[in-house]
Amino acid sequence: AFFCAGHRILPTMVCDYLRLTWLAARSRTGGPLQVLAQAVWEAGPKRDGPMGRALLTAKEQGWKPTAGWWEWKVPGRQEPLSFVCGSWGALCHAIRDALRYAAVQRLAARRPRLYQGLGVAANKLLVQPALRGLEELDASLLRGAMAGAVWTAQRAHARGLRDDPLCPYCDMGTPEDEEHILYVCPAWEAARGVHLADLEEAARRAHALGPMAPASPHWD
C-alpha cells in the first residue's frame, strides 16, 4: 500500500512497517515463533534478532505496551492498538496510520514554520463563506494553506507571484515542485545526506524479517 500512486515514503518507514507487521503476525499465529517471541519479551531489555528490532521500532515510534507485546498505546489513537483484534487488513492500516502520524510529528518538530499546523483542522463552515469575499490570489493562497501544500516556485508562478516556475536554488532549469525539493535539487543534497547512513542501515535489515502476513491467523 505504501507504493500506491500518490504515496511518497522513505525506506526507513518501509522497514518500520515490516518490523511492526512481523510483530503483529507473531501475536496472531500460534506455534514455535510465537513461543520464541514471548520468551524474548520476557528476557528483559537486552533483546536481539527480529523480535528485538521490532520492539525497538515500537519504542522509537513512541508506542507503550499496555498488557504485553500484543497491545500498545499508540500516539494519535484514543483506544489501544491490539494485534489480536479485528481483521489483518484493518490492523495493517492502523499500523500505517501510526507510522505516518509519527512521521508528521517529527517533520513538524524539524520544520515548525512550514509544518507545525498539519495537525490542526480548519472549520470549513466558517472558512468557505470567507473565501468568497477574498480576491482570487488571496483565496488561492488560503486554499493552499488549508490543504497543507508545500510552497514552491511552481505554485508561486501559478498564482502570478513569480515570472517563472524554475527552482531558484539550483541551476538545473527545472520547475520547483515537491519532488524536486525532496529528491532531486542538488542544493538540498547536504540535508538529504545527513540521513543517508540511516537509510542504508535500515535497507540492509529489511530482508531478515521474513514473511509479513500470518500463515493461519487465529483471529479475523
Convert the pLDDT of each residue in 68-107 to its tens digit.
899 999 998 889 999 999 999 899 889 988 888 888 888 7
How many other CB atoms sit within 10 Å of the CB of residue 39?
10
Distance CA 164, CA 173 (A): 10
The confidence score (pLDDT) of residue 125 equals: 77
Q: Is the pLDDT of residue 34 over 80?
A: yes
Per-residue confidence (pLDDT) for residue 6, from 0 to 100: 44
What's the pLDDT at 136?
A: 72
Q: What is the pLDDT of residue 65?
A: 93
Mean pLDDT of 109-125: 71
Mean pLDDT of the chain: 79
**Tens digits of per-residue pLDDT, 131-185?**
788 887 777 777 776 666 678 889 889 888 889 999 998 999 999 998 888 788 8
Extents of the domains making up the chain: 11-112, 121-148, 151-209
Task: Note if the pTM is more than 0.75.
Answer: no
Cα–Cα dist 63/94, whole Å: 13
What average pLDDT does this structure show over 184-202?
Answer: 77
Q: How would residue 220 be classed by pLDDT, with cut points 50, 70 and 90?
A: very low
pLDDT surpassing 70 at residue 42: yes
Question: What does the pLDDT average to over 203-210?
Answer: 54
More confident call, 47 vs 219: 47
Burial 141-174 (b: 16+ CB within 10 A, else e): beebeeeeeeebbbbbbeeeebeebbbeebeeee
How far is residue 14's CA from residue 95's CA, in Å, rounded to a whole number?
A: 11
- Which pLDDT value is given to residue 46? 67
pLDDT tier for residue 52 given thresholds of 50, 70 and 90: confident
Query: Highest mean pLDDT: which of 1-5, 55-59, 120-124, 137-141?
Result: 55-59
List strand residue ranges (DSSP E) for the chain, in order.
64-68, 71-73, 81-82
